[in-house]
Structure 1
Amino acid sequence: MQPVNAPYPAARFRRARARAATRALTRQHSLTVDDLIWPVFLRDGEGVEEEIPSMPGVHRLSVDRVVEAARRAADLGIPAICLFPYTDPAKKTKDCAEAWNPDNLSNTATRAIKAEVPEIAVMTDVALDPYNIDGHDGFVRESDGYVVNDATVEALVKQALAQAEAGADIIGPSDMMDGRIGALRDALEAQGHTNVMLLSYAAKYASAFYGPFRDAVGASGALKGDKKTYQMDPGNSDEALRLVARDLSEGADMVMVKPGMPYLDICRRVKDAFGAPTYAYQVSGEYAMIEGAARAGRIDGDKAMLESLLSFKRAGCDGILTYFAPRAAQALQKAQ
């Protein structure tokens, strides 16, 4: 039964808003550092911090620098860091074999972080696009350009096992191939990686908001066509629930909606329907809009950042992947 509000003036909603103490007492949702996962970009070299032009303030880091970044994140209380490699174009091939190379950038960085900052959780990305000469998340059929499903899943299993062997705590399949969660879970169990978690990109939409990310991992120029045959149609919402239900039944520990703010309705529906750990990715385009507007003096960057992150909590998310993570953590510390 819905509560009945007393009529004015018995019900003055401004009473609770009148002072900071009562605003805090009546606040329904809050953001903490425990909600943050920090996505970072890797590149070859040593001592490298290379700014990404389409993501001002975000850098590609060499392995030594990403270890330093992980230490900084852990010191701020951020519980997890997520790795995305910028692969040397010379290592991109049709067969994507660099994806399961035990010494590729992602696996090398994982081992380095776990050796120096063991308390932080390392999340890795499972998809072939950083290693694919065609720029797609799976193998491309030459005859018609279609991204094939089952052969791609077999490759993703090899990639995930290499990441688990390197010490990844959380594996994030972002490819949107059918059946990959079940295949990954079976393979991880069979190889003794029983505590490696799967954070499935269960509802990943074919979005215009990914552009700066593709610049960051070097996939923009390589991509042939689009990803609409495997990523979700932005007009669909019921399909997201079916995908989440399937991935949970196949062994996903957590599920993600991507992008974030344009799909807060999906976050809310997923959380209400399943009650499972639900995450959102505040993607590169979202970051670039907020940061770009802030640098142009149009908005207060820190306030807009924190408000945007709080919107995910209000929509039911248990955590957020965001490039703002260190800055948000510092802002939250100051607010205490």
Structure 2
Amino acid sequence: MTPTFPATRLRRTRVAPWSRALHAENTLSPADLIWPMFVTEGRGVTDPVGTMPGVDRLSVDRLAATAHEAVALGIPCVALFPFTQGHLRTEDGKEALNPDNLVCQAIMALKDAEPGLGVLVDVALDPYTSHGHDGLMHDDGRILNDATVDVLVGQALNHARAGADVIAPSDMMDGRVAAIRAGLEGEGFHEVQIMAYAAKYASAFYGPFRDAVGSGGYLKGDKKTYQMDPANSREAIREVAMDIAEGADSVMVKPGMPYLDIVRLVRDRFDIPVFAYQVSGEYAMMEAAIAAGVLDRDRAVLETLLGFKRAGCAGVLTYYAPLAAKLLTR
């Protein structure tokens, strides 16, 4: 039993900074961060995302400077998302298979600039479809699981050939991890990782992201037939178990802050790295509170990211990555 006061004074270990550091149960460093980036067509383009203050879409030629910044800050990995022009969007999302598409150009630019920087690439069809869904759509509006998986394998291989280090399927189609793993192995990409969006919820927090990649205006209906119901937690365990069995090297929970209970459930159940995505709606919500003067940006950013680590995350995808890395290395 714990001795009672005054034999025990829990404040003793909190009095001095050195003692608080020594007794910290969790730590946060730049090595825990993945920096999501939006890439767009053109040259010399820095295009602000209206719903995400401080976040820009960058043209491929601007990525080298960003890669150098990430490495200088100690951020180990960046994640790429394309803003696809309307004329390239089709019912079948065929631009996803173009070896010279925007994402492939961006992968090569990042690797040319900083070969040691990890590059994670999202795999789903919503940046490329004219209906805004992550998969192929039947005439009656149904999302076709197995036909979509075939295209996702081609998309993943397209990214791997361009030099991607991590394939991150976010589509939530059943069986896609096994198919992508088989495809990667079949072409000799034995060291390319799969970080599966294993528990991705049909959330209200994705709105600004859809603005950033230009898919929001195209979306017909919703994504509830393939993304998870926010009411469910045990189902997340089944999703994660399936992705691990199919060959995922790590798994992701998305969104982040509203689903920290899911992070903890997954971390306690499985011996595999768990990541979370502090998504666009979380970022926009915090920025709105900061702009209103009710939150201190620096303190709030580090506190939320430490909360992810405390819940069990190995790392966090966050638009605050460069700011957090600067704060942590001061």
The 3-state SS of whatever aligns with 1:129 is: coil
Question: What is the letter of the counterpart of residue 83 of structure 1?
Answer: L
The 3-state SS of whatever aligns with 2:137 is: coil
State the Cα distance separating 1:67 from its structure 2 match.
Answer: 2.0
CA contact 1:139–1:147 (8 Å) conserved in 2: yes
1:236 and 1:66 map into 2 onto residues whose CA distance is 39
Partner of residue 332, structure 1: 328
State the Cα distance separating 1:313 from its structure 2 match.
Answer: 0.3
State the Cα distance separating 1:239 from its structure 2 match.
Answer: 0.6
User: Which one of 210, 217, 222 corresponds to residue 213 of structure 2?
Assistant: 217
Q: Is 1:104 aligned to 2:101, yes or no?
A: yes
Partner of residue 20, structure 2: 23
Can you list the C-alpha shifts for 1:196-254, whole angstroms capped at 9, x where unaligned?
00000000000000000000000111000000000000010011111111100100000
2:242 and 2:158 map into 1 onto residues whose CA distance is 25
Can you list the C-alpha shifts for 1:135-171, whole angstroms capped at 9, x where unaligned?
000011112x111100000000010000000000001
The 3-state SS of whatever aligns with 1:55 is: coil
User: Which one of 282, 286, 291 corresponds to residue 295 of structure 1?
Assistant: 291
CA contact 1:122–1:169 (8 Å) conserved in 2: yes
2:2 and 2:86 map into 1 onto residues whose CA distance is 63
1:121 and 1:251 map into 2 onto residues whose CA distance is 20
Partner of residue 193, structure 1: 189
The 3-state SS of whatever aligns with 1:185 is: helix
**Matches of residues 86-235 of structure 1 in structure 2 within 5 Å?**
86-143=83-140, 145-235=141-231
1:8 and 1:141 map into 2 onto residues whose CA distance is 68
The 3-state SS of whatever aligns with 2:8 is: coil
The 3-state SS of whatever aligns with 1:39 is: strand
Question: What is the letter of the counterpart of residue 169 of structure 1?
Answer: D
Question: What is the letter of the counterpart of residue 133 of structure 2?
Answer: H
User: Which one of 34, 40, 49 corresponds to residue 43 of structure 1?
Assistant: 40
State the Cα distance separating 1:54 from its structure 2 match.
Answer: 0.3
The 3-state SS of whatever aligns with 1:57 is: coil
User: Which one of 225, 235, 238 corresponds to residue 234 of structure 2?
Assistant: 238
State the Cα distance separating 1:185 from its structure 2 match.
Answer: 0.1
Partner of residue 252, structure 1: 248
Question: What is the letter of the counterpart of residue 207 of structure 2?
Answer: G
State the Cα distance separating 1:192 from its structure 2 match.
Answer: 0.5
1:192 and 1:329 map into 2 onto residues whose CA distance is 35
TM-score by length of 2: 0.99
Can you list the C-alpha shifts for 1:173-199, whole angstroms capped at 9, x where unaligned?
000000000000000000000000000
1:219 and 1:169 map into 2 onto residues whose CA distance is 25
State the Cα distance separating 1:296 from its structure 2 match.
Answer: 2.0
The 3-state SS of whatever aligns with 1:294 is: helix
Gaps in structure 1 of 5+ consecutive residues: none
Q: Is 1:33 aligned to 2:30, yes or no?
A: yes
Gaps in structure 2 of 5+ consecutive residues: none
Output the aligned Cα RMSD.
0.6
2:65 and 2:144 map into 1 onto residues whose CA distance is 39
Partner of residue 69, structure 1: 66
User: Which one of 50, 53, 58 corresponds to residue 56 of structure 1?
Assistant: 53
2:71 and 2:16 map into 1 onto residues whose CA distance is 34
State the Cα distance separating 1:121 from its structure 2 match.
Answer: 0.5
User: Which one of 280, 301, 320 corresponds to residue 276 of structure 2?
Assistant: 280
2:155 and 2:65 map into 1 onto residues whose CA distance is 25
Partner of residue 265, structure 1: 261
Number of residue pairs matched? 330
CA contact 1:67–1:109 (8 Å) conserved in 2: no
1:69 and 1:213 map into 2 onto residues whose CA distance is 20
2:230 and 2:92 map into 1 onto residues whose CA distance is 30
User: After TM superposition, which residue ranges in structure 1, 4 or more long, deviate above 4 angstroms?
Assistant: none
1:322 and 1:76 map into 2 onto residues whose CA distance is 14
2:63 and 2:319 map into 1 onto residues whose CA distance is 14
Question: What is the letter of the counterpart of residue 271 of structure 1?
Answer: R
2:313 and 2:168 map into 1 onto residues whose CA distance is 17
Partner of residue 83, structure 1: 80
Partner of residue 14, structure 1: 11
